Every structure is written in C-alpha cells, then in structure tokens.
Structure 1
C-alpha cells in the first residue's frame, strides 16, 4: 500500500489541519519511501514530518548508501521536515 493513495493523503492533510506531526520510520531504507515522502511534503507543506533515526541512513560507504544519504539531505528544502536521532554514548 502506498502512503500517497487517497486515504494516505486525507490522513496527511488532516494531520496538518490539526497540527499533529506525522512520523516516518523507514526501517527497510529511505530509498523505498523517499518519492512518497517528497510528494506528501510538497502537497501538504503545513504537515510537520519527523523522520525517526535519521531514516536509518548512515554515512555512505557505497553507491546505494550514497543515494539514500543524498536524498535525506535533499529533504532539507522542506522546512516542515525534522530528523530525530538518538545517540548511544556508551
């Protein structure tokens, strides 16, 4: 199921109206969801978005990781997008 289907878009719009942030946990990789996240952020700029755990991106060591990390950085064009990161300092 796509997040950009009719139901997903209605939920995303309503979250923006109510001031409720939407969180994404891209555990299987940002590259699987980036186009939908970009579409939703473009269409609904008043909906705040949190990407948990830096969208499971890490400093790139290969082309696939470079693409995902680059796409993550491109989300900075959306002022409503926030990254959340938990650090284990042990």
Structure 2
C-alpha cells in the first residue's frame, strides 16, 4: 500500500517506483494484484496523471495501519534476536 500512496503522491508509477526503490513494472503489478484482491480499482489511470479513486482513498488509512503493524512486529522480532533497529521520533 505504500506503493499506492507513493503512486498517487507522485502522479505516476515511474516516480512512485523510484520513491520506494522498486522497478516500475513491480509497482504496477502489485497495485493491480491488490485491486483484484479487493475487487475495486484503487487508482484512476485514465488521464495523464494517476489519481486515487474514492475506494483507494477509503482503503489507504487501513493499509497504512497494516504496514505500521507489520513494522512493529518486525521490530519486536528483531529485538528478540538482538538486532534492534528503528526510527527515533520526538514529539511535543
């Protein structure tokens, strides 16, 4: 779903692919696979720029939460292996 977000923020799949360090065909394939799985188009590809559909916008917060959960699970697993890594954020 990071690809979905990157694709719409970038306006096209090539820039999205560069942003997430994946080959452009991989970005397109992963988004199409997700669209098939969900049964809805998540991106409108009809114009020169890629735009998120209403369904895509509605799904995005859940996808981001899922990615955050996976990142959390990886962090916990790494802590058990002694390979602690992550990000430091400071909030006020």
**TM-score, L = length of structure 2:** 0.26
Q: Which has the higher strand share?
A: 1
Q: Which has the higher helix share?
A: 2
When Rg is computed on C-alpha atoms for both structures, the one with the higher figure is 2
